[in-house]
Amino acid sequence: MIPPRPLTAAVVSVSFVVLLYLVELVDVVLPLELDQYGIVARSLDGLDGVLWAPLLHDGWSHLFANTWPVAVFAFLAMAGGPGQWLLVTAVIWIVGGLGVWLTSADHTVTIGASGLAFGWLAFLLVRGVFSRSLAQLAVAVVLLALWGGMLWGVFPGTPGVSWQGHLFGAVGGVLAAWLVARADRRKRPTPRPELPGSLGG
């Protein structure tokens, strides 16, 4: 489903991608070694990496690989508006990061926005199930056909790639979809019961 305000969604998704490129540019130009601020598994000193890891990348090729999935899925996830997008992104960001911190190998430093991409994709794939929306299910079918191969990334296999980040990013996306559907159900007005003997208009 295309966001109701596609220009706003495009600005948000492109701005986020531009931010990633600016961070990588700063990391390359200045001797700051920003990658050290990623998630260091089960280290209290590395726990704050949950906040920074999605903004950091291991070189331009790593960032290039994440650019299109991040841009496309961030755009589509804006269908519910900026407020919902912020909630969904925050859930994915935190759940994905904590999952990496808890399950990655000791002393592993994890960085990259691919966990967000997997989270947004999972959100887009399952939200129609929780909300019982045929339109959202149709979008999910199209996304599954185009990007379904990405889901293999939640399994171990590729050296140097954090399958934990992909897996727990996706878990965060599913949780976010459930939370959004639950909130939407609460917002729906409850039908007023008719009094005995009253006539419907």
pLDDT tens figures, 62-71: 999 999 999 9
3-state SS assignment for residue 109? strand
pLDDT tens figures, 119-156: 999 999 999 899 888 888 998 999 999 998 999 999 99
- What is the pLDDT at residue 63? 97
Whole-number Å distance between alpha carbons of 143 and 134: 14
Residue 199 has pLDDT above 60, yes or no: no
pLDDT tens figures, 11-24: 999 999 999 999 99
- Closest by Cα among 40, 48, 39, 36 to 113: 39
- Closest by Cα among 10, 15, 39 to 115: 39
User: Domains of the chain: which residue ranges?
Assistant: 6-186
What residue spans of 59-189 are helical by DSSP H?
Answer: 60-76, 82-103, 114-131, 134-147, 163-187
Report phi then psi at 11, rounded to 5.
-60, -45
- Closest by Cα among 179, 1, 155 to 91: 179
- What is the pLDDT at residue 103? 95
Residue 159 has pLDDT above 70, yes or no: yes
- What is the pLDDT at residue 98? 97
pTM of the predicted model as reported, rounded to 2 decimal places: 0.90
3-state SS assignment for residue 113? coil
- What is the pLDDT at residue 107? 85
Which CATH number, 1.10.1740.10, 1.10.10.10, 1.20.1540.10, 3.40.50.620, labels domain 6-186?
Answer: 1.20.1540.10
**% of the chain with per-residue pLDDT over 90:** 71
